[in-house]
Amino acid sequence: MAGRSPSLTARLLAVLVWLLVSLEYCAVVDAQSETDGYRSEVFDPKYIPYQELLVTPKTHGGLFSFTGRWRRRRETFTASRWPGTYVTVLIYGDTCILKLRPKPQGQIEDYSFYVSVDGSEDLLYTLPPFDSFAKDREIIFVPITIPSEKPKDEQQKKDKMLEPHTVRIISISDYPFSFEGFLVANTLIRQGHAWTAGQDNRLNVEFIGEGIDAETYGGLLGYDHDNSAGGVGDDGGARAVRQLVRHGVSVINSTQFKAAEALRIRHSHADCGTCFLSDCDRRDPLPGLSVQYFNENPLPMLLRSEALHKESKQVQDLLQKQLLFFREDQWLKQSMPTAVVVDVGVRDFLRIDEPVDPERFRRQLLVFLGRVRESARPESTIVVIGRDWENAQSGAFKTTVRSVVPQSKDMMALRKKLYQVTQNATAMVQEEDKNVVFATIKPSNSPKRDLIDVLCTYVVPVFRPRPKSNDPDAKPAQPNTQQSICLSLGNARHKSPEKVAHDDHDSAPHPTGVDAKADDHGVAHETIHGARFMLLYGVVLVCFALGLMYLLARPFLMVLTNLGILQGNRRVYGVRDMETGGFGFGRVNRRRFPKEKNSMSVPMSGSGSEEEGFVVLAGGGSQALGGRRSGKGKP
């Protein structure tokens, strides 16, 4: 006989005992763990916090300020090929790693840009040669050195605060600067738009043309023909143009750049290395600055006219793409220049074998100034510079600018002709636009000083101190940085503003910035105007209060009058008078309406008199409210 199998209850009991024994042995081992089950000894790498934070113009718009012409494509911000284009970044801490995204353009031998930290000297950063088409070179990280004091001990290291720094990066025309953002110390940044608003309110000057630097060999961009004195060289062909100065050194050392940096103002530059007029040089008949200025990018300097004409229409349109000056981009905010300085004509008259026709130059300058005003800079002050070499100071030709233009009578006549046609064209524009001025420079041995004097006269507003205030705690107003520099250089307009109040330069409008808040009114005038305003404001307020009180009290006065509490000779508005047949008060000599069927008389006094009247109800009936008194009472 087969043995009886254990019951289900016995099986469950055996399994439970086995589990309890197993848990007891496991508890003996796990109870000795240091973590005690509250933390893991293995940490997932994806939860490890980064030491740096990536800030971009899209994520932290209040940390970036763009100067010049820029273009955004998705996450990448690329500078144009116009010289002197730069971006300024506000960072916190001493960690700054640039995240570059070079534009794909094949093998790049010397990708360079200039870096300035907290207004220091511009340092050249040059990357090793690389292939921009390579996958591992799509993104390049470049650390930027931020000068900072090292903490002395551990406690000071813990208590160290992240100090703000400004980093400016200047693009070089040969290889435009292209970036995505910066890696900074990983912290919570809540930067509003106060800093960028301050940057936008700074004086901002755009220089059009090379100015006196066009007389040097290489000009502003560092490219020139093989012959330095103008005229056609031995080879005389399109291949005669070559690069003389690399890495944009000519831009950093130019007169315009140094003058703007001395005044500590924002500045951008527009020059393409050609004449102002198109087809002025038979060696290189490319579009002139008067045409290329309105393009997004100038034509590359090594591009010849023959190669441009051989390209397809699509390539030509791409190279000469028009710039949308008023395009708005929430991640690429660009401010309008305060002033535009036009300094052109040197290459057209002094650097070519056959100078241009003066009348043609005058007409083209007229058209150009009109296009700049209407299509590009509608609110900026336009300053056109002309150099009067006949009244130049002694030693003007022994200048820091190494001019390659010969000092001959023919060249002096051309200089005089350039000055006259420029002055004539500007005067014709001034008749229609008072915000266009002509600045005469009498050259000295310091072109930088001459240009600073022009900027102080027509761009930097004059400092006018306020009268002494009765408040003992009030601090006297002080001139800003630009005004202090103009005063130290002895500028006539800033040194004696009253004496030149009726001069020609003061007749032109002068833009003001956030740093220049000059007050032309005295305290007495402010007090008088303030008292008048307060008196008028008080009268208007009292009248308004009386009118409002009347409107609020009028319904209650009507009710009290109708109830007999207040005596009056007018009835409640809206009651139809049975005798006159009208609504409202004081309406007499009108035809009496017949009494309606549903109306009734209401006795209003114990003397037996009554008042008759009615108001038509919404349901079609009427209700007696009283009217004029009748002579006899009715039973």
Identify the structural domains of the chain with CATH numbers, from first to last. Answer: 52-152+160-200 (2.60.120.260), 204-288+336-507 (3.40.50.1110), 576-629 (no CATH)
User: What is the residue whose two structure tokens read 């956030």?
Assistant: 514
Compute the distance between CA of residue 346 and CA of residue 502 in angstroms, rounded to an integer.
Answer: 32
SS3 of 517-579: the string is CCCCCCHHHHHHHHHHHHHHHHHHHHHHHHHHHHHHHHHHHHHHHHCCCCCCCCCCCCCEECC
Report residue 139 CA to chain centroid gap.
Answer: 29
Largest Cα–Cα distance in the chain?
142
Provide the pLDDT confidence category of residue 369 given band limits of 50, 70 and 90.
very high
Q: What integer pLDDT is reported at residue 159 of this predicted model? A: 57
| DSSP secondary structure, 257-298, as one string | HHHHHHHT-EEEEE--SS-SSTT--TT-----HHHHTTBSSP
Q: What integer pLDDT is reported at residue 571 of this predicted model? A: 44
E strand residue ranges, 425-492 = 436-441
Q: Is the pLDDT of residue 318 over 90?
A: no
Compute the distance between CA of residue 464 and CA of residue 480 in angstroms, rounded to an integer.
Answer: 11
Nearest C-alpha neighbor of 219 from the set 295, 274, 151: 274
> What percent of the chain clears pLDDT 90, i.e. is strictly above it?
27
Provide the pLDDT confidence category of residue 6 given band limits of 50, 70 and 90.
low
Q: Is the pLDDT of residue 442 over 70?
A: yes
pTM above 0.95, yes or no: no
**Tokens linked to 495:** 């040194």
DSSP classification of residue 591:
P
Provide the pLDDT confidence category of residue 626 given band limits of 50, 70 and 90.
very low
Highest-confidence range of 10-19, 196-205, 563-572, by mean pLDDT? 196-205
Q: Is the pLDDT of residue 523 over 50?
A: no
* Number of alpha carbons in the 13 Å side-chain half-sphere of residue 141: 9
| Mean pLDDT for the stretch of residues 69-74 | 89
Q: Is the pLDDT of residue 432 over 60?
A: yes
Compute the distance between CA of residue 607 and CA of residue 610 in angstroms, rounded to an integer.
Answer: 9
Q: What integer pLDDT is reported at residue 425 of this predicted model? A: 94
More confident residue, 271 or 401: 271
Identity of the amino acid at 293: Y
